[in-house]
Each structure stands twice: as structure tokens, then as C-alpha cells.
């Protein structure tokens, strides 16, 4: 009886994201799974393991959504990486030295086309050496490059379940897998579909929001750990002087960036 009373007081509310009576646009919906990147040479055992195909996030796109909007939603911590000079980790970060500024070029490869992003200053087509290599090999079909601006999802030629590639920030690669293609329903959001992002990473010591990634430190039990700024200052510095040997990188949660 007690369990029944609790459930009666907290009833599960069910409802559609859009009113059923609202008009439904004639469009499609497709899901894109962004796989966690593994920026290293994988062993033979690792390439056969499905555990490496871990979904980092899933994005729902409409047919009239642009490929540029998808590219802007794939925010990666590699873009915010900045080299910190040894012994000067506590100094303010020079934003002009982040990978996003130093290596602004990126592309998305789908089917036989490299869709190049030229939106950042000094961007260039980094797919050129890849296309030249593929042209010398008879096992590859002809490929081309195209500006990503203005390309819509409905215009793409792709295969469901086939892994495609998004490369940015130098050599950081993400696999993109498109699946669950269907027609837009009345219960779907009619104006724009929501993009899902991951939350913050916590400090290993106090569970506050992390601000630094520390690696190659003999005093830590793991190869790398996350720390908030107060714990970073207290554990790795004494009176402003560095304690021991370690490498530190600033950590900026990807969802705090503003995509213009």
C-alpha cells in the first residue's frame, strides 16, 4: 500500500515534444553517432574489438540541416589544447596558441567526397595529400573535395551504418556513423532538433569541475588525472614553485564553447 501511494503521488507524465495537432513538415530524420576518438596506431587485436566503437554522443538531424551545423556540434577537447611552458602552468592561457587557432583546417569525408570547412581564418584543404595518395592506388575509387558550406543532409550520398571520418585539430579523427533514417513525425520537434552534449568532468580529489589534465606524474596512481584549479595549485605547487616532474594541460569543457 505504501508503494502504491508513492506512485500515485508521483505519476509519470507522458507527452509529445510537439502537439499532435500541429502540422508536420515533410522531411526526414537521421541519427549520427560520433565515436570516441582513438588517436593512436591500433594493434591487430584492438582493430577487431568492438569495445573501441564507443559512442561519445548522438545527434539527431533533419534533412534540411546543413553538414556545417553537424560539424559545429562535434566539439572536441583537442581544439582547446594549449602547450604550457614547464614551470609556468599557473600563468593565464594564451588562447591564440590553442589547437583550434594553430590548426584551423578540418574536413568530413562521406562516401567519395571530402567536405572541407573553410570557415576558420587560414583554413586550407588538408585532404589534398590524402586524395593524391588515393589517386596513386588502384584499390580506391575516384574521390573529390567540396566546400562544406551550404551542403544539406538530404543532398548527401551515404550508406547507413558505414563509418565515415571527421578530421580536425591536426590529426584528431572521429568516426561518424549515420543510422535510423526515418520520416519526420508529428511527435518530433518541428523547428529544430536538439543536439546532445556530454556534461562536465570532475576533479579527482574534490569532485569539483576539472580545470587541468595532469600526466606523467610519479605521485599519481593513474597515467593521467583531472584536477580543479585549487587542487592543482595545492598539490603540484608550493609557494608558486613546481613540485616534481609532470605535464599539465588546461581542460575546457566542450559545451562551454559558444558556436557562432
Backbone dihedral region of 16: left (phi > 0), alpha (psi from -120 to 50 degrees) or beta? beta
Residue 217 lies in a domain: yes
Contact between 227 and 57 (Cβ < 8 Å):
no
Residue 14 lies in a domain: no
Contact between 124 and 104 (Cβ < 8 Å):
no
State how far the alpha carbon of 42 is from the alpha carbons of 37, 160, 169, in Å: 12, 25, 20
Q: Residues 209, 102: one domain?
A: no
pLDDT at site 159: 96
pLDDT at site 200: 60
Q: How many CA atoms lie within 13 A of 147 on its CB side?
A: 6
Q: Residues 222, 180: one domain?
A: no
Task: Quote the CA–CA distance of 67 and 75 in Å, as a whole number.
Answer: 14
Q: Residues 143, 230: one domain?
A: no
Angle at 232 between CA 226 and CA 233, to 5 degrees: 170
pLDDT at site 191: 55
Q: What are the start-end ranges of the H helices in 203-244?
A: 229-236
The model carries a pTM of 0.67
Contact between 212 and 81 (Cβ < 8 Å):
no
Task: Quote the CA–CA distance of 164 and 182 in Å, as a whole number.
Answer: 20
User: What DSSP character marks residue 171?
Assistant: T
Q: Residues 116, 171: one domain?
A: yes
Question: Kind of pairing, strands 113-117 and 144-147?
Answer: parallel
Could you list the pLDDT tens digit for every one of the 260 residues in the chain? Answer: 434 333 333 333 334 445 555 667 788 889 999 988 877 777 777 777 767 778 888 888 889 889 999 998 887 878 877 777 777 777 777 777 888 888 999 999 999 999 999 998 899 999 999 999 999 999 999 999 999 999 999 999 999 999 999 999 888 899 999 999 998 887 666 655 443 444 567 899 998 888 888 988 999 998 889 899 999 999 999 988 899 999 998 886 654 443 33
Q: Residues 162, 221: one domain?
A: no
Angle at 64 between CA 62 and CA 123, to 5 degrees: 105
Q: Residues 111, 190: one domain?
A: yes
Instruction: Give the residue numbers spanning the domain of 224.
Output: 200-252
pLDDT at site 15: 41
Q: Residues 132, 246: one domain?
A: no
Q: Residues 193, 206: one domain?
A: no
Task: Quote the CA–CA distance of 140 and 158 in Å, as a whole number.
Answer: 17
Residue 3 lies in a domain: no
Contact between 69 and 148 (Cβ < 8 Å):
no
Q: Residues 100, 226: one domain?
A: no
Task: Quote the CA–CA distance of 38 and 200 in Å, as a whole number.
Answer: 20
Work out how many domains the chain is built from and give that number.
2
- DSSP letters, 85-99, are PTT-TTSPP-GGGBH
Residue 90 lies in a domain: no
Residue 191 lies in a domain: yes
Amino acid at each position: 500500500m505504501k508503494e502504491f501511494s508513492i506512485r500515485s503521488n508521483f505519476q509519470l507524465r507522458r507527452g509529445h515534444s510537439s502537439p499532435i495537432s500541429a502540422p508536420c513538415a515533410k522531411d526526414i530524420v537521421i541519427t549520427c553517432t560520433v565515436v570516441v576518438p582513438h588517436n593512436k596506431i591500433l594493434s591487430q587485436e584492438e582493430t577487431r574489438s568492438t569495445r573501441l566503437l564507443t559512442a561519445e554522443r548522438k545527434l539527431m538531424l533533419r534533412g534540411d540541416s546543413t553538414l556545417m551545423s553537424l560539424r559545429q556540434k562535434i566539439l572536441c577537447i583537442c581544439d582547446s589544447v594549449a602547450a604550457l611552458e614547464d614551470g609556468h602552468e599557473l600563468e593565464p592561457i594564451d588562447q591564440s596558441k590553442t589547437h583550434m587557432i594553430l590548426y584551423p583546417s578540418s574536413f568530413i569525408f562521406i562516401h567519395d567526397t571530402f567536405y572541407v570547412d573553410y570557415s576558420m581564418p587560414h583554413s586550407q584543404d588538408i585532404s589534398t595529400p590524402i586524395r593524391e595518395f588515393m589517386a596513386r592506388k588502384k584499390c580506391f575509387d575516384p574521390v573529390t573535395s567540396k566546400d562544406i558550406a551550404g551542403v544539406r543532409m538530404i543532398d548527401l550520398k551515404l550508406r547507413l551504418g558505414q563509418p565515415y571520418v571527421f578530421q580536425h585539430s591536426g590529426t584528431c579523427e572521429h568516426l561518424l556513423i549515420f543510422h535510423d533514417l526515418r520520416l519526420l513525425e508529428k511527435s518530433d520537434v518541428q523547428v529544430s532538433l536538439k543536439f546532445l552534449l556530454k556534461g562536465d568532468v570532475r576533479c579527482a580529489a574534490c569532485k569539483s569541475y576539472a580545470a587541468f589534465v595532469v600526466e606523467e606524474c610519479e605521485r599519481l596512481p593513474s597515467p593521467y588525472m583531472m584536477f580543479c584549479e585549487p587542487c592543482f595549485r595545492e598539490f603540484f605547487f608550493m609557494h608558486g614553485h613546481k613540485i616534481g616532474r609532470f605535464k599539465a594541460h588546461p581542460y575546457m569543457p566542450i559545451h562551454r564553447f559558444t558556436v557562432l
